[in-house]
A and B are shown apart, each in its own frame.
Chain A
Amino acid sequence: MSETADVDATVARIESLVEQLGEADPRVRQLAEEAIRLLMQLYGAGLARAIEILGREQALRLTEDKLVGSLLLLYGLHPVEASERIAAALRSVERRLAGHRVYVAGITEGVARIRVEVNGGPAPATLAGAIERAVAEAAPDLAGAEIEGLPQAATALVQIAPAKWLEV
């Protein structure tokens, strides 16, 4: 979707510009970040008022738009709870699975605990990645996801380096 690409490219461009200012002069970078913060706050305040005026029902309609929904998440204004958002995202993951169940067991200290119930054949190796992506997209305001109930082999794939290397 080109719209999605534009948002990501814009964010990358903003970060790169701030970075370049920092290389020229660290103080300038601070000033630029402050200007961005104030501007974002201003828009956030406007968005908050708009949501208040619309009321929950109308605000829910706004969340159907990907960009608006993401902006509401960014400002912590999304009318749907994180657990509900994740549940909806997991349902679409589930639809691609043959009989396995995936659901939110709870949210602990900003981490979504996702439970997988394997029924019938083995779960696909890509499932953990798919769940993590779904959670990150539905709830970028959370720190991440912890997956329970997948066979060890599947989760081991996520590990990049043996823990021993990191201890050196």
Chain B
Amino acid sequence: MQQLFRLRRFLDAPALPPKGEACELCGAELPARHGHVADVEQRRILCSCRPCYMLFTHPGAANGRFRSVPERVAQLPAAAVDGAGWERLEIPVGIAFFLRDSARKRIIAFYPSPAGATESGLPLETWTELEEAIPLLETLETDTEAVLVCRRREGVEAWIVPVDACYELVARIRTQWRGFDGGREAWQEIDAFLEGVRERAGSYA
């Protein structure tokens, strides 16, 4: 029983200061607000410091393995979106994002689910038609940007967003998603997220 008091040293130790995040490319300490680099090969998003971020803004850097994730958020024009036939994209749960995958040379659709993002391929001709209707879609960066589409009773909204934003959304709703359509908590989370997207789109308009 006498040894019990040895645990006192844990209680007496000073609290550990919270460690800031580190750049996943060079290890430098990161501020809370920092950029991301996509590892295209591993399909991972890496937190990065400004110098590393700048290194991979070039499309050909690191043989294309690492690509800096752009910061723009651009709302697609509502009229074009309404008329472009998003219903043909068959978004089953009202929210999805699409990205141009360089490895597989196709457009991939992601849907939220309790297990994370479920992905499915999209016929390329459907996408080509969409691009014709909405020229802004042609500016979509490969691997590092995504088109986020939200279809509600009120109508369809769509944005070009950084791909890390989509990962954030997936992470936020993974723990909340219930059943097929997600449930109320998941949609509260999605609404909060979309509010942030609208704000960022506004500041880029």
Q: Which residues of A approach B to under 8 Å, CB–CB?
A: 3-4, 7-8, 11-12, 14-15, 30-31, 33-34, 36-37, 40-41, 44, 66-67, 70-71, 73-75, 136-137, 140-141
Contacts and interface: CB of A to CB of B under 8 A. Distances in A.
B13 A74 contact: no
Contacts, number: 58
Residue from B1, B4, B6, B10 having most chain A Cβ neighbours under 10 A:
B1
A40 B1 contact: no
A11 B15 contact: no
B32 interface: no
A136 B11 contact: no
B33 interface: no
Interface of B: 1-8, 10-11, 13, 15-16
Given A33-B10, A40-B10, A41-B11, A74 B16 contact: no
B16 A8 contact: no
A36 B5 CA distance: 14
B40 to A, nearest CB: 30
Contacts of A37: 10-11, 13, 15
B15 to A, nearest CB: 7
Residue from A12, A34, A136, A137 having most chain B Cβ neighbours under 10 A:
A34
A7 B11 contact: no
Contact of B16 (A11, A30, A40, A71): A30
Contacts of B10: 33, 36-37, 40
Given A30-B16, A31-B16, A8 B3 contact: yes
Nearest to A27: B19
18 contacts: A4-B1, A7-B1, A7-B3, A8-B1, A11-B6, A11-B7, A31-B16, A33-B10, A33-B13, A36-B7, A36-B10, A37-B10, A37-B15, A40-B11, A41-B11, A66-B1, A71-B4, A137-B2
Contacts of B15: 34, 37
Chain A, interface SS category: helix
A144 to B, nearest CB: 12
Contact of B11 (A3, A11, A44, A67): A44
Contacts of A31: 16
B121 to A, nearest CB: 42
A136 B15 CA distance: 28
Contact of A70 (B4, B11, B16): B4
A70 B4 CA distance: 7
Contacts of A44: 11
Nearest to B16: A34
B3 to A, nearest CB: 4
B8 A74 contact: yes
A74 B1 CA distance: 11
Given A31-B16, A33-B13, A40 B7 contact: yes
Contacts of A36: 7, 10
Given A70-B1, A137-B1, 14 more contacts: A3-B1, A8-B2, A11-B7, A12-B3, A15-B6, A31-B16, A33-B13, A34-B16, A36-B7, A37-B13, A67-B1, A70-B4, A73-B5, A136-B2
A140 B2 contact: yes
B6 A70 contact: no
A67 B15 CA distance: 27
Nearest to A69: B1
